[in-house]
Structure 1
Amino acid sequence: MALGKYEIAKLRSNEIDACIIKTLQSGQSFRVEAGAGSGKTYSLNKVIDWIQDNYWQSLNLKKQKVACITYTNAGVDVIASRLRMESFIEPMTIHTFAWGLIKQFEHELKKKVVEENLLPDGIKGDDFDMVHYEIGARYVENRVLYLHHNDVILLFARFMDNKKFRQLMTVQYPIVLIDEYQDSLKAIIDQFLNWFIDMKEGPQFGFFGDAWQTIYEKSSCGIIDSANIAVIGKEANFRSQQVIVDVLNEMRPELPQICATDENDGFVKVITCNDFCGDRQKGYYKGELPNDILIERIDNLQEKLDKDYQWNDEHITLMITHKMLAKQQSYVNLLEMLDERLKDGDDPYLEFFSEVVEPLYSALEEKRLTRIFDVLGSRGYPIEYKGQKRIWSEFEKRLEEGRKRTIGDVMKVLFELQGIQIPIPPKVQESHKKYLDDPENQYGRSTIGHLYGISYSEVLNTLEFLSPNAEYSTDHGVKGEEYQNVLFVVGRGWNNYQFDKYMGCDSSKLKGNEYDAYVRNRNLFYVCCSRPRKRLVLFITVPVEGDFMVYLKKLFGVENICTYSEFMSEDK
């Protein structure tokens, strides 16, 4: 009896997992390059299980640990849930890992903090006695300096130049596993390469991830290359049907995948707007459809997909046209104000609202005291006596009222608060102080004054859009996710992404910034095209011509490309 696709893919996957274990046993550092849907997490879990079964005695006797570094706290929790009681494997974020090592060098740590000028405004070296890291905000309290997230990374990279420090890390963590390696901080990975891997010294490293799924971050390392790293490719796709896998294999022939499902009722389709004969947008959005036409076409397209293909069963719409999204999701003023910072998700105010203000409000609303403790950091239990209960109750009431008005109203509540210390980031504190000191100067009026006048509802809409559960998304939150159906809208809106320029170009002729831009575009294109299990529709709202059209025909087949008018007139 012939084997089915799943059995064939599973056999190949098992062979590769055995190869990973064999490399682990050899002591050589390795990189598992796992394409979309290939079971990276499964392989990582197999390695963890094998280490627990086989290295318990040798490592436990020496009181050594295996570090398993992952990108998010949620990832840490997932790995921790699989470990045995009192396991010698420690799942943690890179910040936790870095702090756990550098804090052991207390005297040198204080010295380096001063040398690198990692101090709040107005603070000198003799204003603090100890250095701690808890909530990721930089401030001094009770002669203790608390570090910012970025400070910990910079200090760790500096400490890596110290031989004694490297020896300590090697003794404590003879094996270091890194999940989603491509998103790791370049400053740290470069030091691991320079001092350990390239010199064949130090811990054994196991990197798990996919360089093609690096979502653009200036600080991310991307692909990790060294002659001393064994590269092991995962060659199965357990997510997508054959029609999707064929597209991915055409896109990435150096890592071909075996489709693991016999289901074959999906499809791929490229829908262009080459049928539009009117005037297109100019300037920043050159070539884009007029906004009203753009929104109308997307709405009509989704309606037809829902009607003809039950698209609304489980789907997501991935958009690169952020301006149109802002109008649909009602945060257009905030987009115009924050511009690239909102597009990149790295604005200090937005980060503060996302990581502190909204989690704190939710915790108060739901009466979850432990969550309040988590948000504020371990500075003591947040509500210890009756008077504090009244303070917190008044704070919740005022914050609720502020959230119904403007960003400025929310900030006023936070800064006028008495009896509760909210971890407000230094950049936010600094800009707020500048505004209060002279609200009529150009900075105050045009920047902070404008921001504070925007309805806070736009912040809530933005955070909802950026969440991984949103019906609409850009690159935020989509990596690692999968959906039955994906509508991928390609248009103007972000300087970082111009698929019509880079997809189909000869990358071997590109250098420097041009090559970096190509990789950035290629990666996001790959990530978006590899999310669906069953159906993928590309809706391209800018003109499709030249090398881009040739590339699309090669990837999807000329029979799967049509204009918007042709698709809308089709009978299923």
Structure 2
Amino acid sequence: MSGRINKPDTPADIELRKCLAAKNSFVIVAGAGSGKTTSLIKALKYIDDTEGKTLRQQGKKIACITYTTVAEKEILDDVGHDPFFRVSTIHSFLWELLRPFQKDIKIWVKAKIKSKLEEFEIDRQNFSNRTRQTTRENNARDTARYMYIDANIDNVPSFTYETGSNYLEGILGHSDIISMGPSLITASPLLQIILASRFPYFFIDESQDTIGEFVDAMKQVEHNVEDFCLGFFGDPMQKIYHTGSGAITLEKGWQEIQKPENFRCSTSVLRTINNIRAAGDNLQQNGGRVELIEGNPLPVEGSAQIFIMQADDRRAAKLAKVREYLSIQLADPLWVSDEKIADVKVLVIEHRIAATRLGFPALYSIFKDGTTDSLSMSFSEGSNWALLPFQRYILPLVSAFRDRKDFLVVELLKKYCPIMQKSYLSAPENEPLVILREIKTHLGELNNLLSDTSNATVVDVLNYLNEYGLISLDERISTRIGDAPEIEADDEDVTITDRVIAAYLNCPVKEVWGYSIYINEESPFSTQHGIKGDEFMRVVVILDDEEGRRSSSYSYEKLLGIKDLSDRDNSNLDAGQETTLDRTRRLLYVCCSRSLKDLAVILFAADIQAATEAVLATGIFHPQDVKNETTIDIVLAN
């Protein structure tokens, strides 16, 4: 076990042990920085100490379901990778449980296929004279595909689990597992008994982000099977994904255990996140970060400020200005550093500010503005097929060449370069030494094409590599390169994808460097949804509804009272349903609670005076910590 178990017990740890001793199911509500994982590890240790020998002899294990593979690794490291603890993500756990039930799996797959066909039929019935021809064609194509699958699915002998689904190949994807698992558990008393027998203790970490269907299925197991202890570890205020269950409703005989301590945040940051949380639930956190000064634990005061800036086209420059101000005000030069050691994290709702700061604004606009969700998402995730040649091969190759890492250069060429393959080099007409000399010359030219001062475009680089046999291109790219003419804006005979890729090919290739730095997390920028569970010494949170306009689920202006609620918001409020305010408050809480010491929130607003008055009225920040551009300019001028 890790050093977590040696940390002092909190009241929640003591209450949790009582629940485990009585085998009572429970829900732990643990605020940010409260040591939730520590309590979970202590619970696992307690079970091992009190029942471990008996349970091991019976072949039983303790299940711990996590939300991400990162969390899975963290807990596994803490328990020393002891197989007695079945720590896994929900997908892998469900597949391990369900894999032997191939007959039930096939029944579920067949039912899903029929359900999809029924959906297509309903869509066809709702077609009108205004329905586009492409919509009709897509419906006909999808219907034909699923009818073919339906006619041949009985020939599939068994199913396995991979990333994406292909039913006729016997492959189930992520979405299938997460949908099928709860369904089969709920429908099968036998499966419930098997699950509870194998795992008499079942813990679900980050329960607020676990899908409701799985939570309900596990509740049913707990209700139907004796000697089964179900435990949830989470925080409803940190639910920032739409599919999460949020708060776990207590069942009869269950106990809720609150864990209000905060060991992460400085005093100023803790005060701020408590103010954010106050309108969300009744959990107010206490404690705060301490550091040893001459052997004495003293609280870290830190800072928490909000800067209200004019929303214009100079956002990146203003962000830099705020960071410069903080470096002066706090006497902390690391605020202006982008090096990883500085531990500065800038959290943006969307990637546009990062794109501008890191030098890929045109590339960002090409894939994000007026495109499809698929293109937009693949760009944000770094998985777009058109960009992969640069991510996997071209940029690493040039970087290795510049750094004189000859071994890495050779390894990359062996993996991706056609004229470095054994089959090519061994041909009688080819001289390996001559080819190597030519490649060295090509690398020098490629380095020039990708320099900061180069005016080369993406297609210039791809054409060069392709011409000299230095790359094997995806057919989707090779058929589009050459002259790569620009597509006219009013040309209606091209798809959105064609338009995007054409613009990308004509984009300055040096912008791909900035994009690579961002995707590989070599810059201080991250999206606000991508940092839950992390912590940083210095945090900047960007509040900018205009930048986040692609998502209507969040509005900082509404949360802060700058903008009126919509009719839908008011309707949801009256009905007691989740609103934009709820979602945005949770996201702001998660972002601000990442800070260990200093927090800077930057609000971009159209009317600075109105925004200042609204922010002051919320009481989230102390009045002296609400600042604007004038304050910053005065300090920087001196």
**Structure 2 counterpart of 1:485, from 532, 538, 551:** 538
Per-residue deviation at 1:23? 1.3
User: Would you say the 8 A contact 1:132–1:147 is kept in 2?
Assistant: yes
Contact 2:304–2:621 (CA<8 Å) still a contact in 1?
Answer: yes
Distance 1:196 1:488, change over 3 A: same
Identity %, equivalent residues: 23
The correspondence of residues 375-414 of structure 1 with structure 2, limited to 5 A, is: 405=458
8 Å contact from structure 1 (residues 34, 208) kept in 2: yes
Q: How far 1:405 sits from its partner (Å)?
A: 4.0
Q: Which residue of 1 aligns with 2:124?
A: none
The aligned runs of 1:365-384 (5 Å cut-off) are none
Equivalent-residue separation in structure 2 for 1:61 and 1:318 (angstroms): 49
Structure 2 partner of 1:222: 246
Aligned residue in 2 for 1:4: none
- What amino acid is the match of 1:297? K
Query: Is this contact kept in 2: 1:268–1:560, CA < 8 A?
Result: yes
Deviation at 1:546, TM superposition (A): 7.3
Q: Against the structure 1 CA distance between its residues 546 and 349, is the aligned structure 2 distance closer, same or farther, given a 3 Å change threshold?
A: closer
Structure-to-structure mapping, 1:152-301, within 5 angstroms: 152-160=177-185, 161-193=187-219, 195-197=220-222, 203-215=228-240, 217-228=241-252, 229-253=254-278, 254-260=282-288, 261=290, 262-273=298-309, 289-292=311-314, 294-301=315-322
Counterpart of 2:24? 28
206-215 or 541-550: bigger deviation: 541-550
State the match for 1:39 in structure 2. 35
> Aligned pair in 2 of structure 1 residues 94, 85: CA closer, same or farther (>3 Å)?
closer
Instruction: Report how many residues are paired.
Output: 501
Amino acid at match of 1:490: L
Distance change (3 Å), C-alpha of 1:550 and 1:74: closer
TM value normalised by structure 2 = 0.67
2:344/2:538 contact within 8 Å kept? yes
Aligned to 1:449: 498
Instruction: Give the Å deviation of 1:565.
Output: 0.7
Q: Which runs of 5+ in 2 are unaligned?
A: 1-6, 117-141, 291-297, 337-341, 401-406, 413-420, 427-438, 451-456, 466-470, 481-486
1:84–1:328 Cα change, 3 Å = closer
Question: SS of the residue aligned with 2:620?
Answer: helix
Cα distance, 1:251 vs. partner?
2.7
Which amino acid in 1 is paired with 2:320?
D
Which residue of structure 2 aligns with residue 151 of structure 1?
176
Find the counterpart in structure 1 of residue 91 from structure 2: 95
Distance 1:322 1:223, change over 3 A: same
- Distance of 2:228 and 2:375 partners within structure 1: 34
- AA at the equivalent of 2:157: D
Matched letter for residue 328 of structure 1:
R
**Cα distance 1:457–1:29, how it changes in 2: closer, same or farther (>3 A)?**
farther
The TM-score with structure 1 as length reference comes to: 0.74
CA 1:251–1:339 in 2, change beyond 3 Å: closer, same or farther? same
Change (3 A) 1:566 1:351: closer
* Structure 2 counterpart of 1:314, from 320, 334, 343: 343
Distance (whole Å) between structure 2 residues aligned to residue 85 and residue 322 of structure 1: 37
CA contact (8 A) 2:368 2:375 kept: no
Offset, 1:474: 2.3
Are residue 516 (structure 1) and residue 516 (structure 2) matched?
A: no
Matched to 1:255, the amino acid is L
Residue by residue over 1:463-519, the C-alpha shift from the partner in whole angstroms, topping out at 9 and shown as x without a partner, is 653566640122143211112222222112223321121245999981569733222
- Aligned AA (2:499): H
Residue 470 to residue 35, structure 1, CA distance change in 2 (3 Å): farther
Cα separation, 2, equivalents of 1:196 and 1:443: 56
Deviation, structure 1 residue 291? 0.9
Q: Which residue of 2 aligns with 1:535?
A: 598
Give the Å deviation of 1:51: 1.9
**Could you say which structure has the larger radius of gyration?**
2
Q: Which of the residues 562, 565, 571 maps onto 2:627? A: 562
Q: Quick one: distance in 1 between partners of 2:156 and 2:350?
A: 48
Report the more deviating stretch, 555-564 or 495-504: 495-504
Q: Distance in 1 between matches of 2:462 and 2:56?
A: 54
